[in-house]
Structure 1
Amino acid sequence: MPEAIIFDLDGTLVDSVHFHAEAWVKAFEQYGYHADFDKVRQQIGKGGEYILPEFISQEEIDKDGSKISDYRKQYYQKNLLGQVKPFPKVRELLERVKADGNQIVLASSARPKTVEHYQELLGIKDLINGVTSRGDVEQAKPHPDIFIAALNHFENVSKESVIVVGDSPYDAQAAEKISLSTVGVLCGGFSEDVLKEAGCIAIYKDPADLLDHYEESPLSS
């Protein structure tokens, strides 16, 4: 029986994955590199330090990696963040989770300022027990640091009673490293097969679908 739920943000509660991919493609182009949009999209959910080696060499990373990452962050904040929309029924889903007596923590690899914006966009601040962001950890997903930090926000909850909800295989891989189960959602753009292979114990279309099937889901008490 769950007592606490950790929710990822990008691609799980907000429709932002394609914007993150766009920002990476623009950043690579700015410094003379080509990165295919669809291939970049399949990397979203990892920390930037793990995305760069998928597209450029170590020599190129040493030369331009930090500049590409900085440009990507600035481009996303300036040009794309304002276009991000919530997925339907996010607040209603979290209200249902709280009604069951569960605690909720948001765990994101985004910057603290971006996570704050997402909370306001979703209108869920009053439902949250804690928030972790990229600034709280040394290593981003697929390392489990962000979920380890999230566990510290729960009160009187055993790790065995915590479930992660995420959209990417990197969420499931990170959670599995510290023996947390993951419920997957498809709205981030990863296929059901990819999420199953990564270890998701159940998969739903999006937050609204998870809410519609809440009673039979792993989230239900």
Structure 2
Amino acid sequence: MPKAILFDMDGTLVDSIPFHQEAWLRFLESHGIHLGPDEFHAQNHGTIDEMIRRFFPAVQDSTALYALGQEKEKMYREIYKPHIHEVAGLTPFLERIHTLGIQAHLATMGDRPNIDFVLDGLGIRSFFSSITGAEEVSKGKPNPEVFLRSIEKAKVHASDCWVLEDSKGGILAGAAAGCLVIGITTSHSPEELISYGADRTVVDFLELMEEFC
């Protein structure tokens, strides 16, 4: 049994990745940047700041960059709000590990408004011992910084932590941090997640719950 579980947010707590992609494509289109889904997917990694700088290299002013990022994230929340729901079994799983004394920590590239949107929208904030978001790191996944910070907050060894992730960058980051990594198949097939470095995969938290009964 792990002493702590580090949860990604988008694609792990909620199946929000398609809505993020829709928001990005609409946002970029509104600024005259025309990308297809495959073109966007190849560049979809890192913090919101890293991504805005990637798509708007001519913009150097930090205030303008921040405003662009907030514009995109506001669009995402508006698109996803009518559809928000947890990945199957999440709340019962959080309740179960809490009763077992296993810490839950959030480690996400999401910013604070998006974190609040998900945790408060699902009513699960109280389960998390700590929250580490994009504002606390200088480099996004696949850099392991966000997980290393989360491990520090948990005050346990990386080998005593599990990481739950849905993305290639997140799986690479979790493995680089020294954790056991479980891939959730919301965004990729089991075969893809294993090829990225996941130790194993699950469909959802209902399946993972079976190990804690």
Pairwise TM-score range, normalised by the shorter structure: 0.7 to 0.9
Q: How does 1:128-147 map to 2 (within 5 A)?
A: 128-147=128-147
Q: Distance in 1 between matches of 2:163 and 2:45?
A: 14
Amino acid at match of 1:185: I
SS at match of 1:135: helix
Match of 1:206 in 2: 204
Contact 1:13 1:207 in 2 (8 A): no
Q: Distance in 1 between matches of 2:11 and 2:178?
A: 22
Give the C-alpha shift of residue 79 in structure 1: 3.7
Identity of aligned residues (%): 25
Measured at CA, do residues 172 and 31 of structure 1 come closer, stay the same or move farther in structure 2, by a change above 3 Å? same
Match of 1:124 in 2: 124
Give the C-alpha shift of residue 68 in structure 1: 5.5
Which structure 1 segments of 5+ residues have no match?
none
Contact 1:17 1:41 in 2 (8 A): no
Provide the aligned C-alpha RMSD in A. Answer: 2.6
Q: 2:57 aligns with which of 56, 61, 69?
A: 61
Give the C-alpha shift of residue 93 in structure 1: 1.0
Of residues 79-88 and 14-23 in structure 1, the stretch that sits farther from structure 2 once superposed is: 79-88
Match of 1:32 in 2: 32
Give the C-alpha shift of residue 15 in structure 1: 1.7
Give the C-alpha shift of residue 175 in structure 1: 1.4
SS at match of 1:153: helix
Measured at CA, do residues 30 and 18 of structure 1 come closer, stay the same or move farther in structure 2, by a change above 3 Å? same
Which runs of structure 1 show a deviation greater than 6 angstroms over 4 or more consecutive aligned residues?
Answer: none
Contact 1:182 1:201 in 2 (8 A): yes
Q: Distance in 1 between matches of 2:111 and 2:188?
A: 23
* Per-residue Cα deviation, 1:191-219 (whole angstroms, up to 9, x for no partner): 222211111001011222222xx32xxxx
Q: How does 1:29-178 map to 2 (within 5 A)?
A: 29-41=29-41, 44=44, 46-48=46-48, 51=51, 61-63=57-59, 66=65, 69-155=69-155, 157-178=156-177
Q: Distance in 1 between matches of 2:8 and 2:130?
A: 12
Give the C-alpha shift of residue 123 in structure 1: 2.2
Contact 1:144 1:175 in 2 (8 A): yes
Contact 1:31 1:68 in 2 (8 A): no
Amino acid at match of 1:147: F
Q: TM-score, normalised by structure 1?
A: 0.82
Contact 1:137 1:146 in 2 (8 A): yes
Give the C-alpha shift of residue 184 in structure 1: 0.4
Q: Distance in 2 between matches of 1:113 and 1:69?
A: 11
SS at match of 1:173: helix
Q: Does 1:197 align with 2:195?
A: yes
* Per-residue Cα deviation, 1:2-24 (whole angstroms, up to 9, x for no partner): 11100111111112101100111
**How many matched pairs?**
209
Contact 1:142 1:171 in 2 (8 A): yes
Which structure 2 segments of 5+ residues have no match?
none
SS at match of 1:86: coil
